[in-house]
A and B are shown apart, each in its own frame.
Chain A
Amino acid sequence: MNFSLWQITPVTLFLIFIAPVAIVLFSLTGDYSENWSHLYNYVLIGYIKNSFYLILGVSLTVLILGVGTAWIITNYDFSFKNFFEWALILPLAVPPYILAYTFTGLFDTFGTANNLIREIFDLSRDFTFFPKVRNVPGAIIVFSFTLYPYVYLVSRMAFINQSRSIIEAGRTLGLNKLEVFYKLAVPMIRPAIIGGLMLVVMETISDFGAVDHFAISTFTTGIFRTWYGMYDIETAMQLASLLLLFAITLIIIERYSRRNASYSNAMSLYKPLSHEKLRGFKNFLAFSACFIPIFIGFILPVVELTYWALNYKLDFFNEKFISTAWNTFYLAIIAAFFCSVLAVLINFSIRYKSNNYLKFMSSFLTVGYAVPGLILAIGVMQMLTFIDKSFVSNIPNIVFTGSIFGLVLAYIIKSYALSNSTIDAGYQRINERIDDVARTLKTSGWSLLSQVHLPLLKTSFLTSMLLVVSEVIKELPATLILRPFNFDTLAVYTYVYAAEERMYDAAAPSIAIVMVGLIPIIILTRMIRRSRPASRY
């Protein structure tokens, strides 16, 4: 390993990571077909309208759910508070498309919930108690109750860091408890909330599975239909570009908010917030406020899926399920391993050969998480087609398009941010003087990495692997497009069955996805506990 390799690696990765996105954006400069005119004149406004309502509805709901529960948990002592503190993150384990599947299974005209009401009250088959959910308000509920933990997490972290002195100062200046909340506490953590909210919006606009299941026309379903229905990849890419430009705007806002987030904990002397003990009706209110989001976002889908799996398809543990689970597992492990290795190499390069362009590239590589999976898939597909045609057409048995390679590449680009933040946090904990001393002990480059850094990064590496595994297992649109022929993952398996309304068959893979999704929840819970300023004293 020579010196320059530590600089070349990030540059090469930068080019590979940026190529699919650049290919998609480049389509804007190409010719516009008749399909584009059709979309532009008749459909595009519908996509924009639906996306706008979704974003607006989801944003408002997650703000209420996320910030509200974070404030209650941080400031009050009530029944099962310790349980709610971590359980409020549980809905993160449920991808929106799985909640959408269970919602339709529950609340459709002949769904479990309506059937139950009819049976209990002996009502006719025409009677429908629960309103239809396959619409924009239904999608808003699905997205809000699965994605609010993003806002809850950042708000909780920020509230934890707020000093009691500031809140007490507000009270002495005449503010009541509610005013302290919305005039002082919330404005102080505004940048953090905006950061969390942007993540929610990005997830909402990137989703394909839930909106497709609810038959709501958005950009992602439009892109999919243009490609697979009209067989017009150019127009699909042009449509994707518009969505990508919106995603880039969100990234900029999110980055900007994160940069300003520090003012939320700019106190010189930290005093932990005191917890007010709630009793009677107030205790019940706080309990309900925390229980309802968990019930809708986690308990309900898990109970329904388990019910389906156990009562209707006890033989779900069949050969097909095992092979699909195995495909998912090894794909996730490969992607997680490479993603984590890349994150280590890049972070090491930055530390070892510190300069501004490496830092810039590293921060750029992390924006992959915000690129919708569908767009990434289109870009990767186009890039691989180009490579196949230009470079490997003469080599027999080598085709990148439709291979595992493309899928793993897309996963790495999409999940790199997770690995990077984990490894970066690991590096923050290694004192830089250790490197100085190691160098004077004739240990540099690869030896420094393997003998000193890697052993110290073991936990971070494992955490990074787990986070990426759980992310990859949930990923749907990119997998759907890039998977090799006849190659299913749990997410695809779930999607295909749900699309055929075979909800009972979709139950077992859905449960598996949710279970794996619990891994990062456990890690996050531990990280939050460790991050409390009070725990350091």
Chain B
Amino acid sequence: MASLEVKDLSHSYIRGKSVLKEINFSLEAGEILSILGPSGCGKTTLLRIIAGLEKETSGSVNIDDHIISDHLHTVLTENRNIGLVVQERALFPHLTIINNVMFGIKETKSKKYEIAMRLLKLFKVDKYAYNFPNEISSGEQQRVAIARAMAPNPGILLMDEPFGTLDQSLTHQLRTETRKILKDNNTTAIIVSHDFDDAISMSDKVIVIDDGQIVQSGSAKDITHISPEKSVKLGSIISNS
């Protein structure tokens, strides 16, 4: 598992209009971080920059003390050893569930199968191994998407609104299960969400972004015990989401 450090990271699509401003945070190996904030605050952009799907305007991203992106270096997404789970799940529709999970594993066929089956069992979707994505429910698809992202044993797992489209009871169940699996596997993870409960219940650390800036950061416990003044501010950010 890997550690992550984001330093002075800024990003803008249009000159002079920043989406992210001077973002700084770090994450130890095996820690889970939640990035919280309203829609359009820049949290998905931050995740995409860490994944290498977009290039920051300035600043740097370091994994295990190695620079993977700054004004001089850019390590391609495929070489960053990062796992990604998106809200749309983006399962490969032409592949069965087992083949989806095996897709990113670079091992022998039998080893791939073994790893994929272990993860499917862990996420309780092994009985659908030979089904196609459209044949299972959205909650099951989400479990498969997380299993697929974890299968190649990434240094860091990035999850963008992973439970955004699921109903509340399913979300609660998946949150608990996913946190347990991440912790059991000592996986470093970043979860982007606009859901306060997601952030608090799943992560060790939370940062709150508003208008491209970090307005609050700390442990999940700190965030739940903030001053009344800050609480009002945080409440308005969350309610805007």
Contacts and interface: CB of A to CB of B under 8 A. Distances in A.
Contacts of B51: 436, 439-440
A441 B51 CA distance: 11
A455 interface: yes
B104 A443 contact: yes
Nearest to A442: B78
B139 interface: no
B86 A433 contact: yes
B90 A442 contact: no
Interface in A442-489: 442-444, 451-452, 455-456
Contacts of B104: 440-443
A433 B160 CA distance: 11
Contacts of B152: 441-442
B214 interface: no
A444 B76 contact: yes
A82 interface: no
User: Could you say which interface size class chain A belongs to?
Assistant: 10 to 19
A438 B93 CA distance: 13
A434 B84 contact: no
A438 B52 CA distance: 13
Interface in B55-103: 76-80, 82-86, 88, 90, 92-94, 103
A233 to B, nearest CB: 51
B149 A443 contact: no
A440 B77 contact: yes
User: Could you say which interface size class chain B belongs to?
Assistant: 20 to 34
A124 interface: no
B148 interface: yes
Contacts of A437: 84-86, 90, 145, 148-149
Contacts of B164: none
Contacts of B148: 437, 441
Nearest to A430: B93
A456 B93 contact: yes
B103 A443 contact: yes
A340 B148 CA distance: 32
A431 interface: yes
A353 to B, nearest CB: 12
A431 B88 contact: yes
Contacts of B78: 439-444
Contacts of B92: 434, 438, 452, 456
A442 B106 contact: yes
Nearest to B52: A439
A434 B94 CA distance: 12
Interface of A: 431, 433-434, 436-444, 451-452, 455-456
Closest 7 CB pairs of A and B: A441-B104, A433-B90, A440-B84, A439-B77, A455-B94, A433-B86, A434-B90
